[in-house]
């Protein structure tokens, strides 16, 4: 052993090995093992991402249905590659139908633009799609009107006016053939004037299910007329028969002096100018009596409201011997008995119009007049004794609603219906 140690080359080898071992021990204490994060960088990771599915086909000749809007992609690789893939803008998932003819196919989902070394797996790997021959067809448009019941009494909802009346639908041949109608909806809730809106259209099959097609135009202009078909008219009552001897009719009171008249449409409403007088019998009466009287529905009207009114006849002792003579149903009777007569379509004249100006009526140029007074005076009254006029003194250019003035012989009172008319001054 001593002889070996005396050899220089052996001592050098032992010294080198010893120094190498000491260096390794010292270096291990100063440099710990790699951190977990540095190890994970080199490990394979997985992540699921969602990507829009691009459908590639000849859109000039065909349409495709059944393809999902997006697919899931499972990314497998290092964190660096996954992060890079998520930041890339040129990546995509797609199905290629360019050479496909009409039919139903299970097509493989493909990807492109992802980093090299990253494994990309579509989930699901295939999708089922249907390719149809592209076709177009012109179809009429229908409109459903909602909330008609909320339109107030006295207003009428008319038929919708649609522009355009037809649209062009484009889609797969079998899909187009399944369309039963094209329809939109419009609400007239609470309307008291024409409703004017643009409404979206949808295609439906015979079961009422919506069909996915292209509609051009996709919205149409719709007007729904909502017109007033009611107006107020005055009512009067007349007596028939004769009270008991020594008595006469003193006055007549009504629970309502006007009623609301509703017609089928505006034209019918314009033809209605008055309500026939309500007739109450007074034969043999010696005291006041109240009658419940149906209000007659004039020709052209569908309804009057209220439909009944109370008419109270006040009986007083006669002041003359003639108090017991009979009265006709048109308010004729003896001197001292009160009654009412109605005159229709009395022309309205214009007074007070400034020099160089013209006046035209924007509504009817005549009114109905109800005259109340002594029955004998009413019997002698003619239409020529009644004058209806409007005073335009001081009114300027434009449209005005002017009160109608009625002139009748002394001792009589009169009321016009309507009480005012529209006048345009130019």
pLDDT recorded at residue 415: 83
Same fold, 135-228 and 230-425: yes
DSSP lists the bridge partners of residue 116 as none
Query: What are the boundaries of each domain within the chain?
Result: 44-124, 135-228, 230-425
pLDDT recorded at residue 138: 94
Strand blocks (E) in 124-192: 126-146, 155-157, 161-163, 166-172, 179-187
Cβ–Cβ < 8 Å for 72, 48: yes
Percent with pLDDT over 90 in the chain = 35
How far is Cα 346 from Cα 344, in angstroms, rounded to an integer?
A: 6
Q: Is the pLDDT of residue 31 over 60?
A: no
Please state which CATH class domain 135-228 belongs to.
Answer: mainly beta
Q: Which residues contact 41 (CB under 8 A, 6 or more apart)?
A: 78, 79, 80
One-character DSSP codes across 214-245: EEESSEEEEEE-EEE-EEEEE--EEEES--ST
What backbone phi and psi angles, to 5 degrees, belong to 328? -85, 170
Q: How far is CA 159 from the centre of its chain?
A: 13
Highest mean pLDDT among 68-72, 299-303, 327-331: 68-72
Question: Rounded to whole angstroms, what are the CA distances from 140 to 22, 166, 169, 383?
Answer: 96, 4, 10, 56
Of 142, 138, 139, 55, the residue nearest 100 (C-alpha): 55
Instruction: Give rounded-to-5 percent helix, strand, coil for the chain.
Output: 15, 50, 35
| pLDDT tens-digit series, residues 240-285 | 888 888 888 877 888 888 888 888 777 788 788 788 888 888 888 9
pLDDT recorded at residue 7: 57
Q: Is the pLDDT of residue 12 over 80?
A: no
Of 233, 236, 232, the residue nearest 378 (C-alpha): 236
One-character DSSP codes across 368-420: EEEEEEEHHHHHH--GGG-EEEEE-TT--SEEEEEEPEEE--TT-EEEEESSE
Q: Which CATH number fits domain 230-425: 2.60.40.1510, 3.40.50.300, 2.170.120.30, 2.50.20.10?
A: 2.170.120.30
User: Which tokens is 264 given?
Assistant: 């089928």
pLDDT recorded at residue 178: 92
What backbone phi and psi angles, to 5 degrees, belong to 324? -100, 5
Owner of token pair 């009057």 = 304
Per-residue pLDDT band for 10 (boundaries 50, 70, 90) equals low
Question: Rounded to whole angstroms, what are the CA distances from 230 to 155, 271, 282, 309?
Answer: 7, 12, 33, 19
Per-residue pLDDT band for 339 (boundaries 50, 70, 90) equals confident
pLDDT recorded at residue 345: 85
Task: State mean pLDDT over 48-77.
Answer: 92
Give the CA dihedral 325, 326, 331, 333, nearest 10 degrees.
Answer: -20
Secondary element (H or E) of residue 29? helix 8-30
Residues in the chain: 426
Question: Which of the residue ranges 11-25, 145-159, 189-203 would you say has the lowest mean pLDDT?
Answer: 11-25
Task: State mean pLDDT over 197-214.
Answer: 93
Please state which CATH class domain 44-124 belongs to.
Answer: mainly beta
Eight-class DSSP state of 354: P
How far is Cα 56 from Cα 67, in angstroms, rounded to an integer?
A: 11
Question: Rounded to whole angstroms, what are the CA distances from 187 to 161, 336, 421?
Answer: 14, 59, 33
How far is Cα 129 from Cα 111, in angstroms, rounded to an integer?
A: 18
Cβ–Cβ < 8 Å for 53, 93: yes
């Amino acid at each position: 052993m001593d002889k070996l140690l005396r050899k220089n080359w052996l001592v050098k080898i032992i010294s080198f090995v010893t120094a190498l071992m000491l260096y390794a021990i010292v270096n291990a204490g100063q440099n710990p093992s790699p951190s977990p994060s540095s190890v994970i960088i080199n490990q394979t990771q997985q992540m699921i991402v969602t990507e829009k599915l691009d459908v590639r086909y000849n859109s000039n000749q065909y349409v495709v249905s059944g393809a999902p809007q997006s697919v899931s992609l499972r990314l497998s690789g290092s964190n660096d590659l996954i992060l890079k893939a998520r930041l890339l803008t040129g990546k995509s998932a797609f199905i290629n139908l360019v050479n496909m003819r009409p039919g139903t196919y299970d097509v493989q989902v493909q990807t492109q633009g992802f980093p090299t070394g990253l494994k990309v797996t579509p989930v699901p790997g295939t999708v089922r799609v249907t390719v149809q021959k592209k076709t177009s067809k012109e179809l009429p448009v229908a409109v459903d009107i909602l909330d008609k019941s909320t339109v107030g009494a006295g207003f009428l909802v008319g038929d919708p006016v649609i522009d355009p009346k037809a649209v062009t639908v484009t889609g797969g041949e079998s899909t187009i053939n399944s369309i039963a109608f094209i329809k939109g909806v419009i609400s007239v809730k609470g309307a008291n004037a024409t409703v004017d809106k643009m409404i979206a259209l949808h295609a439906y099959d015979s079961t009422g299910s919506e069909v996915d097609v292209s509609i051009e135009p996709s919205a149409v202009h719709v007007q729904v007329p909502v017109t007033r078909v009611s107006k107020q008219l005055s009512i009067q009552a007349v007596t028939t028969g004769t009270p008991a001897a020594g008595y006469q009719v003193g006055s007549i009171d009504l629970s309502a002096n006007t009623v609301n008249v509703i017609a089928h449409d505006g034209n019918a409403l314009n033809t209605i100018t008055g309500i026939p007088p309500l007739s109450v019998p007074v034969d043999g009466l010696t005291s006041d009596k109240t009658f419940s009287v149906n209000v007659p529905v004039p020709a052209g009207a569908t309804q009057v409201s209220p439909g009944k009114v109370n008419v109270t006849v006040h009986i007083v002792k006669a002041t003359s011997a003639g108090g017991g003579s009979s009265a006709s149903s048109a308010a004729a009777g003896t001197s001292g008995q009160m009654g009412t007569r109605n005159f229709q379509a009395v022309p309205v004249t214009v007074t007070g119009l400034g020099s160089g100006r013209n006046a035209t009526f924007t509504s009817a140029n005549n009114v109905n007049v109800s005259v109340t007074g002594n029955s004998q005076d009413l019997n002698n009254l003619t239409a020529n004794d009644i004058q209806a006029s409007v005073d335009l003194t001081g009114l300027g250019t434009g449209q005005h609603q002017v009160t109608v003035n009625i002139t009748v012989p002394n001792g009589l009172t009169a009321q016009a219906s309507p009480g005012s008319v529209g006048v345009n001054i130019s």
